[in-house]
Amino acid sequence: MSRPGLFLAFTFRKGREALLGAGLALAGCETGQPGTPALTPAVLAAGANRGASSGDLARGREVFATDCTACHRMQPIGKFPTDVWRGIVADMSQRAHLTEPDRAKLLAYITAARQAMH
Ligand code: HEC
């Protein structure tokens, strides 16, 4: 279910997103999509603490923004605690036919973004 073309189209429309796609971490001024928190230093640090690389988190964010919005708009990450997200991802990753690595990266991204919020 990987759709790099969609992601690229998205990155070209938003210059700052393109920088993120290139693996550069930007400072906290990055806003991005309201429902898709950017890979700020805080998010990257939260991910690294759990063994997720910036590439893992970038892929998780991509899955979240593309595969996970095929059927519905996304709920804000801040809406649910991490343990609730874990259950949602377990259920929804089957509906989205995610591979196991993508499921793990998606959960790593959501967990890191959620953790960086408070
Ligand atoms: C094949 C369609 C489909 C895809 C793809 C899909 N969802 Fe869903 N999602 C649904 C439906 C339908 C619901 C409504 C609740 C239900 O049926 O369980 C839902 C509900 C949700 C909710 C609301 C849960 C709640 O308790 O309010 C969240 C959050 C969610 N999905 C996240 C995701 C994520 C993350 C992904 C990507 C892994 C994803 N969805 C992919 C169909 C989909």
Task: Give the C-alpha separation, 89 to 85, whole Å.
Answer: 6
Alpha helices (runs of H) in 40-81, residue ranges in sequence order: 41-49, 54-65
- Ligand 1 centroid–CA 24 distance in Å is 30
6-61 pLDDT, tens digit each: 444 444 444 444 433 333 333 333 444 568 999 999 999 999 999 999 999 999 99
Task: Give the C-alpha separation, 102 to 81, whole Å.
Answer: 21
pLDDT of residue 2 exceeding 60:
no
Torsional sign, CA 12, 28, 44, 66: negative
Domain extent listing, the chain: 4-115
At 118, the pLDDT band (50, 70, 90 cuts) reads confident
51-97 pLDDT, tens digit each: 999 999 999 999 999 999 999 999 999 999 999 999 999 999 999 99
Pocket of ligand 1 (CB under 6 A): 67-68, 70-72, 75, 88-89, 92-93, 95-96, 98, 106
Atom of ligand 1 nearest to the CA of 98: 38
Task: Give the C-alpha separation, 79 to 84, whole Å.
Answer: 10
Task: Give the C-alpha separation, 69 to 24, whole Å.
Answer: 25
